[in-house]
Amino acid sequence: MNQVKIGKSQVETAPLGLGTNKVGGHNLFAGLSEQDGLEIVRAALESGIQLLDTAFMYGKGRSEELIGEVIADFPRDQVIIADKAAQDFSSGEAVLNNDPEFLKKSVDEALRRLKTDYIDIFYIHFPDEKTPKSEAVGALQKLREAGKIRAIGISNFTPEQVKEANKDGYVDVVENYYSLIHRDEEARLFPYLKDADISFVPYFPLESGLLTGKYTKDMTFAEDDPRSKNEKFTGKAFQNTVAAVDTIRPIARQHHVDVLQIVLAWYLANPGLTAVIPGARNAAQVPGLVKSLDVSLSKEEYDQIDRTFTK
Ligand SMILES: NC(=O)c1ccc[n+]([C@@H]2O[C@H](COP(=O)([O-])OP(=O)(O)OC[C@H]3O[C@@H](n4cnc5c(N)ncnc54)[C@H](OP(=O)(O)O)[C@@H]3O)[C@@H](O)[C@H]2O)c1
C-alpha cells in the first residue's frame, strides 16, 4: 500500500486502516467474541493494514489490551496505533475530561494496556466543557516531546473548536463523523484543514454496514435488533440510502467487485480524506475491505457517486 502522512507529524501509514470498536467493545455492542476481535486485528495486519483505530472507550481499555496482545507478534514499526481518551470513569460514570493531568494519565495507562512504549496518534476523543482547547492540546504536545505519542489528534470537535485547539499549530489530525450520506464537514471543515495542513480521518465510513450493499429496500429488523431503533436503518432515510447505494451496483459489476469495495475506493480517492478506518465484525470481513485497494475509479465514476449522494 502507498503511504500517507499524518498532518505535520513524522507518522506515515497505509491509507486503509481498521476501526476496532468491535474488538473488545463489549460496552458498545452486544454479543462480541474476544477471539473474533483478536482474529480481526491479526487478519488486518497480515493483509498489510497498519493503522489500528482504537480508544479507551472501546471496552474501557479491553480493545487496547487485545490489540496489545496481537501487535506483540509484529514488528512495532509496521503498526500505526491511533488511540483516544476523554471519558473519565473516576466518579463511576463517564464524564468528559480534557484536563492535562487526566490526558497524561490516560496516555500512560494506555501504553501499559497496549504493552508498547509509544502511541503513534493520540486523539482527545471528545471535547469537555471546561478545559481550554489549546491547553488540552498543549498537554499532548508535552507528551509528544516526551516521546510517548508521535502525532496529535482531536475527535468530535466542531470547526470552531478545531481552530481553537490548533491555536499553536500542534494538531495533526481530526477524526469526525463523515460518510457518503453525511458530508457536512466538506464545506464547514475541509478548507481550514487543508490550509492548516491537518489530516482528516472519517468515522462510520460504511454507516455501520449500510453502505456495503448488503441491505435491500424491503428489509426490516426485529424489535430486539438495535437497527430497528436506529433512524438510519428505518423509514425514509433507510429507503433513500438503499436507493442511492443501488446506483453503485453497475459500477461494482464493471469492476467485478461488490458495492463495499467501490465505496471504500471512493473514500481512498477523495482528496479531503487522509485515511479510512472501516470496522469489521469478524476476520472473514477483512479481505473484503482490503480488496478495495484493487479498485481504481475513473473520474467519471468518482463524480457520478459524488453527485448521487447528497452533500
Ligand atoms: N472518534 C469517534 O468518536 C468514533 C465514533 C465511531 C466510530 N469510530 C471509529 O470508526 C470505526 C468505523 O466505524 P464502525 O466500525 O462503527 O462502522 P463502519 O466502519 O461504518 O461499519 C462497519 C460495519 O461494516 C460492515 N462490514 C465491514 N466489512 C464488511 C464486509 N466485508 N462485508 C459485509 N459487511 C462488512 C460490518 O457490519 P455488520 O456489523 O452488519 O457485520 C461492520 O460492523 C470504528 O471501528 C472506530 O474505530 C470513532
Domains belonging to the chain, first-starting first, are 4-210+259-298 (3.20.20.100)
CA of 201 to the centre of ligand 1 (A): 13
Q: Write out the three cell numbers for 214.
A: 448488503
Per-residue pLDDT of 222-239, as tens digits, reads 898 989 999 999 999 999
Residue 77: CB atoms within 10 A of its CB come to 8
Ligand 1 binding pocket includes 209 (Cβ within 6 Å): yes
Ligand 1 binding pocket includes 278 (Cβ within 6 Å): yes
pLDDT above 90 coverage of the chain, percent: 97
Nearest to 208 by CA among 168, 243, 167, 238: 238
CA of 204 to the centre of ligand 1 (A): 6
Ligand 1 binding pocket includes 260 (Cβ within 6 Å): yes
Q: Where in 54-118 does DSSP place strands (E)?
A: 80-85, 87-88, 95-96
**What is the average per-residue pLDDT within 245-255?**
98
Ligand 1 binding pocket includes 205 (Cβ within 6 Å): yes
- Shortest-distance atom of ligand 1 to CA 206: 20
CA of 185 to the centre of ligand 1 (A): 19
Q: Write out the three cell numbers for 76.
A: 512495532
Give Cα 248 to chain centroid, integer Å.
23
CA of 174 to the centre of ligand 1 (A): 18
φ, ψ for residue 155, nearest 5 deg: -135, 140
Q: What average pLDDT is seen over the chain?
A: 97
Per-residue pLDDT of 184-209, as tens digits, reads 999 999 999 999 999 999 999 999 99
Residue nearest to atom 27 of ligand 1 (CA): 280
**What is the average per-residue pLDDT within 79-96?**
97
**What is the average per-residue pLDDT within 35-51?**
98
Judged against a pLDDT cut of 80, whether residue 285 lies above it is answered with yes
Q: Residue 1 — pLDDT band, cuts 50, 70, 90?
A: confident
Q: Rounded to two decimals, what is the model's pTM?
A: 0.98
Judged against a pLDDT cut of 90, whether residue 310 lies above it is answered with no
pLDDT at residue number 311: 56
Q: Residue 287 — pLDDT band, cuts 50, 70, 90?
A: very high
| Range in 188-202, 226-240, 243-257, 277-291 the model is least confident about | 226-240
58 is a catalytic site residue: yes
CA of 86 to the centre of ligand 1 (A): 21
Judged against a pLDDT cut of 90, whether residue 296 lies above it is answered with yes
- Considering the candidates 58, 123, 178, 267, report the single residue annotated as catalytic: 58
Judged against a pLDDT cut of 80, whether residue 104 lies above it is answered with yes
Ligand 1 binding pocket includes 64 (Cβ within 6 Å): no
Residue 36 CB-half CA count within 13 A: 18
Q: Write out the three cell numbers for 156.
A: 468530535
Residue 178 CB-half CA count within 13 A: 29
* Residues in CB range of 48: below 8 A, 6 or more apart: 1, 14, 290
Q: Could you give the CA distance from residue 290 to residue 195 in angstroms, rounded to a whole number?
A: 31
Ligand 1 binding pocket includes 203 (Cβ within 6 Å): yes
- What Cα–Cα distance (Å) separates residue 82 from each residue in 18, 92, 136, 145, 203? 10, 26, 18, 17, 13
Per-residue pLDDT of 107-159, as tens digits, reads 999 999 999 999 999 999 999 999 999 999 999 999 999 999 999 999 999 99
